[in-house]
Structure 1
Amino acid sequence: MKTNITKALRLTLVCLVFFSGVYTMAVWAVAQLVPGQGKGFTIEENGKKYHVNVGQAFTQDKYFWSRPSAVDYNAAGSGGSNLGPSNPEHLAEVQARIEHFLEHNPDVTKPEIPSDLVTSSGGGLDPHISVQGAKVQAQRVAKIRGLNLESVNKLIDRHIEPPLWGIFGTKRINVLQLNLALDKIKG
């Protein structure tokens, strides 16, 4: 028994040093190599600072809506809802989001709504929506802002981001950047 306790204490000490020192410093060092030095990607627009890589709530009809967030867009506590796809509470929440979306987008039918507009992401802070998620909202945004639908669709096309390294993921649109560009257009 004494042999096992000694081994366990040594392993604990090695893990403590490695994970609280070596690993932490390695992650910090890698973060210094990327833009933002691990503090996130920020932009400044009209004197206000925005985090580009964190989802933000856009609920006004004049804006493209973001993906729903299970953590109410609180970056201090990211996470999903942890409710399974067949959970009655989750299904009721998704149904309520569908009804809300259809109420504000009367020209859209239920099958046209992409899943990313009615389900939250695993982290709850996804700053992107699918291209279809933006296109399905274009009619509402154009109508409220008094813009030509074609010009709104061109704006969407200019904000399409390709998959990571051309192979990982799908094409997507950063909602914050799209909405900031939208604010620059005069109706």
Structure 2
Amino acid sequence: MKKYLLPSIKLTIVLVVLLGGIYPLLLAGIAKMAPGEGDGVTVTHNGKVVGYEQIGQKFTEDKYFWSRPSAVDYNAAGSGGSNKAPGNEDYLKIVQERIDTFLAHNPEVKKSEIPAELVTASASGLDPHLSPAAAYIQVARVAKARSISPEKIKQLVSDNTQPPVLGMLGTPTVNVLKLNVALDELK
């Protein structure tokens, strides 16, 4: 037993120092070199921080583009999905309520045209991005609410569309918070 006890204690001490001290410090040092210095990239408007670039937020006013629904009400402290099966009655009722709400605020849109991401929550509940199609389908409502031409709003969506990484990894996305800040900055 002594033969195994001393090496086990030594290994435990080495691993505690490495994994409990050196490794976290190394990761914290690397994070300080990243955008936002490891604290997340903030988005500001009129000199005030209005949110984080990679955390979704709730927008419900017609004058803003709406984000993807969140099963955790955009609570970054407790991200997660609904964990309900696609055929679950409660889940289907929630999705139908979201469809009805969207159609009530966007009467020119047909049910079949609504992108699924506008009525279903993401796995984390914090997705800050929409597809360009999900943003463009909201243009008429936003333009009407702001009394701005739809063409100007479409151009704003286009200007805020991020291409796939390296032009081929992923799909084009629109950061909803940045788009809404750009809307507020329109003259």
TM-score bracket, shorter-length normalisation: 0.7 to 0.9
CA distance in 1, matches of 2:30, 2:113: 41
1:1-187 equivalent positions in 2, closer than 5 A: 16-50=16-50, 51-186=52-187
Taking a change above 3 Å as real, the CA distance of residues 91 and 45 of structure 1, as seen in their structure-2 partners, is same
SS class of match (1:82): coil
Taking a change above 3 Å as real, the CA distance of residues 173 and 6 of structure 1, as seen in their structure-2 partners, is same
CA distance in 1, matches of 2:20, 2:77: 21
Question: 1:6 offset after TM fit, Å?
Answer: 8.0
CA distance in 2, matches of 1:20, 1:87: 43
Q: Match of 1:169, as an amino acid?
A: G
Question: 1:25 offset after TM fit, Å?
Answer: 2.3
CA distance in 1, matches of 2:122, 2:3: 47
Question: 1:26 offset after TM fit, Å?
Answer: 3.1
CA distance in 1, matches of 2:68, 2:8: 46
Q: TM-score, normalised by structure 1?
A: 0.88
Question: 1:142 offset after TM fit, Å?
Answer: 0.7
Q: CA RMSD in A?
A: 2.2
CA distance in 2, matches of 1:150, 1:118: 25
CA distance in 1, matches of 2:22, 2:62: 49
SS class of match (2:117): helix
Q: What is the aligned length?
A: 186
Q: Deviations over 1:24-81 (max 9, x none)?
A: 2232122122111110001321132031221111100111001111111111222222
CA distance in 2, matches of 1:173, 1:144: 20
Taking a change above 3 Å as real, the CA distance of residues 108 and 14 of structure 1, as seen in their structure-2 partners, is farther
CA distance in 2, matches of 1:23, 1:38: 15
CA distance in 1, matches of 2:48, 2:4: 58
Q: TM-score, normalised by structure 2?
A: 0.88
Question: 1:183 offset after TM fit, Å?
Answer: 1.3
Unaligned runs of 5+ in 1: none
CA distance in 2, matches of 1:33, 1:10: 34
SS class of match (2:37): coil
Unaligned runs of 5+ in 2: none
Greater alpha carbon shift after TM alignment, 44-53 vs 12-21: 12-21
